[in-house]
Amino acid sequence: MFNNHLLRHGSFVTYLVFFLIILINQPVSAQESLLFSDEHLMLLVEELGAQHDGNIDLTILQEEFTQLAANPVVINYASFEELSRIRLLSDFQIQSLINYIHKNGPVLSTYELQFVYGFDEEFVRLILPFIDLQIKERAIPDDLDKKLASGTHQIFLRSSRKFDKESENSPNKNSIPGNGTTSPILGNPTKLYIRYDYRYKRKIRWGITAEKDAGEEFFKGINKNGFDFYSAHLQINNFGFVKNLSIGDYHLRFGQGLVLWSGFSFGKTSMPLDIKKRAAGITGYRSTDENRFFRGLATTLTHNNIDLSFFYSGKKIDGNITEYDSTRNKAITVSSLQTTGDHSLAGLASDKDAVLEQVFGTNLTMNFNKVKTGLTFAHTWLDTKINPPDRYYNQFYFRGKQLTHLSGDYQFLINRINLYGEAAYCFGRGWAILNGALFNLSSEFSLAMLYRNFEKEYFSFYGNAFAENSGGRNEKGFYLGAEISPLANWKVSAYFDAYKFPWLRYLVTSPSSGTDYLIKIDYHPSSQIEMYWKIKGESDIADINEDLPGITDQEAINRLNIRYHLSYITSPNLRFRNRIEIARCKTGDFSPEWGYILYQDILFTFPQLPVDIRARYAIFDTDSYNTRIYTYENDVLYSFSVPALFSKGTRSYLLVKYSPG
């Protein structure tokens, strides 16, 4: 019974009383500077981390918010594309803001911004750190040397290491705590990261990144040049007809991600309307994913409303080697491509840079007022054949060395309706189609719909479209999302997604289907307090091994998470966050498994010192990994922690931030 879990902790009753006392305390005062915009980022990162089981590099996401706050968008002069940098703005809100400024002139105050259709006081508070209301453009130096001198330089260093008493006392001390293996690591367990970045407005940017994961060799073995991974980029924007020029490492993001979309991608989150991708085209690469990026030369040329992009990339990537030619010192066949970038063990190190990958192609985008269309061509060539072992579920997986794609995408913004989509064909294999619609029915009610159909034969190395399953293949689904504001200070967000897999999947030996839903209720009684209730459920099918050898049965797996979260300011320098979450997982006719977490956050800023303190104390108890609960944890700059908490225990941290100058 779930009650037994609560009683396992002797301190639970005391903690719950403390939790309830805090709930009934009323905030006394607050400053407008202490806003809740970071709560939005916290929830978004938490959900993305849970979707990828914590294995996702979200450095760019936080950097995007940080850089946007440091270089806010001058909304009175911004184009649709520039306003799209503010992820919190929907296409409807962007067009509404542009129309308002065109009709009434520049927005002079945040109070006036509330009168723009689709904006309200709460939303203006949310985007305030990322906008600039200046009505005169700042003077820009004419001399190139002065321009470059006015740019900003940033050097970032980070080191981390896991400590574990068991591993320190074990016979094999050269293993990484929590990596699921006792194999000896090649290097020391310290993780190192260094990055230099130069930025002049949004015109010029260059930088160098170096990283060594925990356990990887450093100035020895396969890494005689020091770090395990190096990356460099130079990006120049808006130089005459050259809209963008990237040399070195870069991202490609076109259409809705059926063919080319490197880096992270938003899926199903608590923002049910934010499912349409905003293609940024070519952007510099500054992350630490060692495989899913492009290295070479890319450029976008622009004339009037037409953008023409060309790109070439050539780099080595990791692969699971199954056949090797020792005379040529070259892999002949790999069973799959690796994506972790971890080379801490001998077996992993031997698979490093096993495959030479070359990608080239072009994109044509035409943007005419409220209509945008695009055409993408891409060809991928590998010098090593991919040949996964024959299994029923992977019968239609890609096998070979080359892939060619052609896709077309569109977007129409008609009054309060936004239609968009992409259709892609993988030559010799199959189709993938995605179509969506956003309806802004009123300022209090909006809808989102999306249909996708990915044939089981379709495949793209860099596809990252909206989907339930990874890989962007073998899936059909329909998504419906809504946001409703029934009363002042209240908002209800919800989505329902039904999907099916026409062919087998890994660990699912028959075609299957599932559903996924979320309901989130937000209440903001004032600018100093906010709370929300969230219910998330999922139903799926998985194979269950029976006691008899070779006999496999299938059972429905139903997961449910219920959460209450409160964040409030009690003084100009003190903020609290409280959360309680319950998890339930039921497999077939087996008894349900339960879990819970409670935590208390304290965020304090010293009045006279540039010092911030963030602390947490949490208790959790779950039956198994099936009822794990993901929680966002404050960490050092550009570093995220979204651990999956399971079993029984407590977790606490103290983060001190000093900001001189």
Taking only the tens place, the pLDDT of each residue in 563-617 is 999 999 998 899 999 999 999 999 998 999 999 999 999 999 998 889 999 999 9
What is d(CA 613, CA 619) in angstroms, rounded to the nearest whole number? Answer: 21
Tokens of 580: 């309680």
What is d(CA 433, CA 475) in angstroms, rounded to the nearest whole number? Answer: 10
Angle ∠(423,429,433) on CA atoms, nearest 5: 20
What Rg, from alpha-carbon coordinates, does the chain have? Answer: 26
More confident position, 114 or 548: 114
pLDDT tier at 56, thresholds 50, 70, 90: low
The pLDDT of residue 426 is 98
Q: What is the pLDDT averaged over residues 289-305?
A: 95
pLDDT tier at 54, thresholds 50, 70, 90: low
Tokens of 46: 């938490």
The pLDDT of residue 207 is 95
Q: Which of 353-367, 551-565, 581-595 has the lowest mean pLDDT?
A: 551-565
What is d(CA 533, CA 497) in angstroms, rounded to the nearest whole number? Answer: 20
Taking the mean position of all CA atoms in its chain, how far away is CA 229?
21
pLDDT tier at 171, thresholds 50, 70, 90: very low
Tokens of 267: 């899926």
Could you tell me the CA-to-CA distances from 89 to 124, 274, 305, 629, 640 in Å, in that order? 10, 9, 23, 30, 24
Nearest to 426 by CA among 459, 399, 452, 463: 459
Q: Torsion angle, CA of 446/436/418/82, rounded to 10 degrees?
A: 100
Tokens of 502: 């026409």
Say whether pLDDT at 88 is over 70.
yes
Please tell me what DSSP assigns to residue 633: B
Nearest to 302 by CA among 255, 245, 359, 261: 245
Taking the mean position of all CA atoms in its chain, how far away is CA 170?
37
What is d(CA 282, CA 244) in angstroms, rounded to the nearest whole number? Answer: 7
Tokens of 23: 């709930």
The pLDDT of residue 15 is 43
pLDDT tier at 176, thresholds 50, 70, 90: low
The pair phi, psi for residue 171, each rounded to 5°, is -60, -35
Q: What is the pLDDT averaged over residues 618-645?
A: 90
Of all residues in the chain, the percent with pLDDT exceeding 70 is 87
The pair phi, psi for residue 283, each rounded to 5°, is -140, 150
Tokens of 101: 């400024």
pLDDT tens digits, 512-549 = 999 999 999 999 998 789 999 999 999 999 887 655 55
pLDDT tier at 149, thresholds 50, 70, 90: confident
Evaluate the CA torsion angle 329, 334, 339, 340 in order and state its sign.
negative
More confident position, 181 or 82: 82
**Is the distance from CB of 193 to CB of 288 less than 8 angstroms?**
yes
Tokens of 336: 């799959």
The pLDDT of residue 623 is 97
Q: Which H or E element spans position 50? A: helix 37-51
pLDDT tens digits, 384-438 = 999 999 999 999 999 999 999 999 999 998 888 999 999 999 999 999 999 999 9
Q: What is the pLDDT averaged over residues 38-66?
A: 74
What is d(CA 293, CA 522) in angstroms, rounded to the nearest whole number? Answer: 37
pLDDT tier at 35, thresholds 50, 70, 90: very low
Nearest to 88 by CA among 133, 131, 132, 134: 131
The pLDDT of residue 465 is 96
The pLDDT of residue 144 is 65
Cβ atoms within 10 Å of 422's Cβ, excluding its own = 26
Angle ∠(256,262,405) on CA atoms, nearest 5: 60
- Helix 59-70 and helix 37-51, axial crossing angle in degrees, nearest 10: 160
* Helix, strand, or coil (residue 402): strand
Say whether pLDDT at 30 is over 80.
no
* Helix, strand, or coil (residue 98): helix
The pLDDT of residue 23 is 40
Provide the residue type at 639 as one letter: S
What is d(CA 319, CA 338) in angstroms, rounded to the nearest whole number? Answer: 5
More confident position, 623 or 108: 623
The pLDDT of residue 411 is 95
Taking the mean position of all CA atoms in its chain, how far away is CA 624?
26
- Name every residue whose Cβ is closer than 8 Å to that of residue 345 and which is 6 or more positions away in sequence: 181, 183, 184, 185, 186, 215
Say whether pLDDT at 32 is over 50.
no
The pLDDT of residue 575 is 92
Nearest to 286 by CA among 563, 64, 512: 64
Identify the residue whose tokens are 């230099």.
196
The pLDDT of residue 550 is 56
**Is the distance from CB of 611 to CB of 21 less than 8 angstroms?**
no
Say whether pLDDT at 205 is over 80.
yes
Q: Which H or E element spans position 621? A: strand 611-622
What is d(CA 597, CA 476) in angstroms, rounded to the nearest whole number? Answer: 35
**Is the distance from CB of 466 to CB of 481 less than 8 angstroms?**
no
Tokens of 367: 């943007």
What is d(CA 390, CA 147) in angstroms, rounded to the nearest whole number? Answer: 59
Please tell me what DSSP assigns to residue 609: S
Find the DSSP H helices in 53-132: 59-70, 80-83, 91-104, 110-113, 121-127
* Helix, strand, or coil (residue 102): helix
The pLDDT of residue 549 is 54
pLDDT tens digits, 443-485 = 899 999 999 999 999 999 999 999 998 888 999 999 999 999 9
Say whether pLDDT at 36 is over 60.
no
